[in-house]
Amino acid sequence: MIATALLLLLASTAGDDPVEVLMRVRDRVLAHAARVPNHTCVETIVRDWYDMVGADTPRSCDALLGRRKRAGEGTLIKLATTDRLRLDVGVAESREIYSWAGAGKFEEKELVELVPIGAIGTGPFAATLLGLFQARDPHFVFEGDTTLNSKRVLEYSFTVPQEESNSRVKAGPAWVTTGYTGQLLVDPATAELLRLTMRTEELPRETNICEVDSTQEYGMVRLDGVEYLLPSMTRERFINQNGSEAENTVTFSACREFRGESVVTFGGKPAIPEEAKSGAATNLASGLSVALVLTSTIDADQAAAGDRIEGVLDAPIYDLEKKTILVDKGKLVEGRLMRVEKRYASPSEVTIVLRWETMEVDGVKAPITLAPDWHTASKMVDSPGELRKRPMGIILPRQDESRYAAYHIPGEHVIVRGGLRSEWFTAKP
């Protein structure tokens, strides 16, 4: 009985060997790396922007971070805006690739081309974790036992220098590869990764950021009877040199495996379905007047840039020279939200930015390029679906939104239930 008890004791403690547990974690992550390129998920990013209040901006990042720590996180800032993004994300050639949700294809583009404004980072889906364990000489330090949600876990720390890092940060026009430090929290019984935290090195002055901190919570997702290690939630905190901060909350949903019938393309121009290539919408001359009515409902508390929208032609498209109808009234048009942003200043305001992408012509969806009529675009909206009729000042669009229509709606919890009419002109792609 004593010998049996001793063997059981040895068996129970063997699983807590920090080297063995970490090797099991590594093996799980690398096995995941072999499968993750066959999958894609919908990535939703909620971005909160905080302005600094009160004291003057410190002259250095060290002074700023020190004052922030002494005062307590969140005490020197106030929430200014919130926006939301919805993207499809996958992995190709050891880096993450993106498209707007539901686009049906990935293109060989940088994330900055989809999201040119605002703080955003790459890597939460898979690249950061894979890069950590695929580094040339990954170096971990076992820090001992700790607890997570009342559960005993093992803690490891690590350092990844810039030359071995695949972590990139963008704010403004530049992407910067950065080294980082962090911690892993691991369940010793199952060797499951539960949490990954990271902090970048101090970033170059031209990024306008001092550092980025992130926390990723992990869990197993079952797809077709097989479990995959994926982050259930990621929080990224961007601490800017002027004292403002941005926090991105990233979640993943609708994860799916590529099937044999799936078509995923990379690079080049967006693919056009064969039945749409000869559609009349692609042959429309520039400068034709187009009146559209939104039929989709947009809930500002849930909607995100990337979401699909629908509308209909509110009047025929005419060829004024030939005095003929080119496209009949009532034809279906589809597009996408390009920005849904809440501004919390007094009074609060929601900005909704949209573009149109296809029009139903001869029973098929044909690509179309429209530019807003600035006499009606970017106006204030008294209530969802109704434009003000009195004269309004000019609200210039952002530089990256010159082909989109922007509507500024008073209030915070705004629902546009359809009926919003907008004027456009046909334009060259």
- Convert the pLDDT of each residue in 13-70 to its tens digit: 444 899 999 999 999 888 877 777 667 889 999 999 999 987 677 889 999 999 998 9
**Comparing 196-205, 275-284, 349-358, which segment has the lowest mean pLDDT?**
275-284
Read off the pLDDT of each residue in 110-117 and give the average, rounded to a whole number. 83
pLDDT confidence of residue 181: 93
pTM above 0.75, yes or no: yes
Average pLDDT, the chain: 82
pLDDT confidence of residue 10: 36
According to DSSP, residue 10 is labeled H
CA separation, residue 194 to residues 62, 180, 200, 220 (Å) = 31, 19, 20, 10
Confidence label for 172 from pLDDT (cuts 50, 70 and 90): low
Percent of the chain with pLDDT over 90: 45
pLDDT confidence of residue 31: 82
**Contact residues for 58 (Cβ-Cβ < 8 A; gap 6+):** 64, 66, 67, 243
- Write out the DSSP string of 349-417: EEEEEEEEEEEEETTEEEE--EEE-TTTTT-BEEETTEE--S-----PPPGGGTTSEEEEEESSS-EE-
132-167 pLDDT, tens digit each: 887 666 789 999 999 999 999 999 999 988 888 877
pLDDT confidence of residue 6: 33
222-270 pLDDT, tens digit each: 766 667 778 889 999 999 999 999 999 999 888 887 654 444 444 444 4
In CATH terms, 274-426 corresponds, of 1.10.4030, 2.60.120, 2.40.128, 2.40.50, to 2.40.128
**Comparing 119-133, 234-248, 355-369, which segment has the lowest mean pLDDT?**
119-133
pLDDT confidence of residue 136: 65
**Contact residues for 93 (Cβ-Cβ < 8 A; gap 6+):** none
CA separation, residue 369 to residues 279, 290, 308, 412, 429 (Å) = 13, 11, 16, 31, 6
pLDDT confidence of residue 277: 44
pLDDT confidence of residue 299: 96
Q: How far apart are CA 52 and CA 178, in angstroms?
A: 25
**Cα angle 284-289-290, degrees, rounded to a multiple of 5:** 85
Task: Report whether the peptide linkage leading into residue 18 is cis, meaning its omega lies within 30 degrees of zero.
Answer: no
**Comparing 9-23, 272-286, 407-421, which segment has the lowest mean pLDDT?**
272-286
pLDDT confidence of residue 173: 65
CA separation, residue 287 to residues 266, 284, 371 (Å) = 32, 9, 9
- What is the amino acid identity at position 253? S
By the 8 A CB rule, do 156 and 141 touch? yes
| Distance, CA of 178 to chain centre | 20
- What is the amino acid identity at position 394? I
Q: Is residue 185 scored above 70 in pLDDT?
A: yes
pLDDT confidence of residue 390: 43
Q: Is residue 385 scored above 60 in pLDDT?
A: no
Q: Is residue 386 scored above 50 in pLDDT?
A: no
Highest mean pLDDT among 52-66, 257-271, 389-403, 414-428: 414-428
**Comparing 30-44, 81-95, 265-279, 408-422, which segment has the lowest mean pLDDT?**
265-279
By the 8 A CB rule, do 378 and 408 touch? yes
